[in-house]
Copies of this chain bind each other. A is one copy, B any other.
């Protein structure tokens, strides 16, 4: 019994960066598929013709995501379910989120919950507990969570504590893929640097105590692939952080735009793609799972090639 508990704790506590590095090498993939299920966009075989109630819509979204997991599992290291799309279906949606997270983990994929959470002390602890911590009756929902830096260090510390204890990770929003983000993130500080460089400095501080055996920290950052120059700067400012790069595909960036992100090792960056994989069937008319699998296979190859490892 004592031995079992010990073994369990050891598994739970394995470092996020180390787990990711192992998965990237095993799969030869740095691709993450974003799960953004929207009932009105689901294949007709899942949504039917009639308007769905919430419970039915949530179940249809869960089936869609499970089908996507099956289709892309050979080609991706992780899924990134976007909490907003599940929350839009209320408690039924959250049930679907839990179901999809468990299904992805059973398929040996890492789960990066995309919630961009951030709040003061005890509230941040509740968020960390919700997504990164083991409860008595179940493993953590996710392996990592995206977080927002605007509330400062003491709003991030509870997530760091959860990572230390449970082997989870966080990705701090740094420089986002949308055009409007620059109104805040690019503001010039009194020393001339843009705001996001100072956020990067803080992320580096937070990351320093959470570097794993493979040299990667459990504290990463989100940088839009739509800003290729910022990707290179982020790599320089955060040599040990995993960069999570959205913006390839529907938002217009290409794998070549993010090549520099991989300078710190094959697992030092992840390209996350949502719409152009999960709704690939809308463009080419193929069966939805086949279309997603084919697009994931293609992107995995392209990203691996530009990463150059």
Q: Is the CB of A173 within 8 A of B154?
A: no
Q: Which of A191-199, A260-268, A299-307 participates in binding chain B?
A: A191-199
Q: Is the CB of B84 within 8 A of A91?
A: no
Q: Is the CB of B154 within 8 A of A178?
A: yes
Q: Is the CB of B88 within 8 A of A151?
A: no
The residue on B at minimum CB distance from A199 is: B184
Q: Is the CB of B180 within 8 A of A154?
A: yes
Check A190 for interface membership: any CB of B closer than 8 A.
yes
Check A49 for interface membership: any CB of B closer than 8 A.
no
Residues of chain A touching chain B, judged by Cβ–Cβ distance below 8 Å, are: 36, 38, 51, 53-54, 82, 84-85, 87-95, 97-98, 114, 116-124, 126-127, 129-131, 135-137, 141, 148-155, 157, 173, 176-185, 187-190, 192, 195, 198-199, 202
**Which residues from chain B contact A151 at a C-beta distance below 8 Å?**
116, 173, 176, 178, 180-181, 184
Q: Give the oligomeric copy count.
A: 2
28 contacts between A and B (CB under 8 A): A36-B122, A82-B119, A82-B126, A90-B130, A91-B91, A114-B119, A116-B117, A116-B148, A116-B151, A120-B176, A120-B177, A121-B178, A150-B173, A151-B178, A152-B176, A152-B178, A152-B180, A152-B184, A155-B180, A157-B180, A183-B202, A184-B199, A184-B202, A187-B189, A189-B190, A190-B190, A190-B192, A195-B195
Contact of A198 with B187 at beta-carbon distance under 8 Å, contacts A94-B94, A148-B148, A180-B154 already known? yes
Given contacts A148-B148, A150-B150, 19 further A-B contacts (CB under 8 A): A38-B126, A53-B137, A84-B124, A84-B130, A87-B94, A87-B126, A87-B127, A87-B130, A88-B129, A91-B92, A91-B95, A149-B150, A150-B185, A152-B176, A152-B181, A152-B185, A183-B202, A187-B189, A188-B190
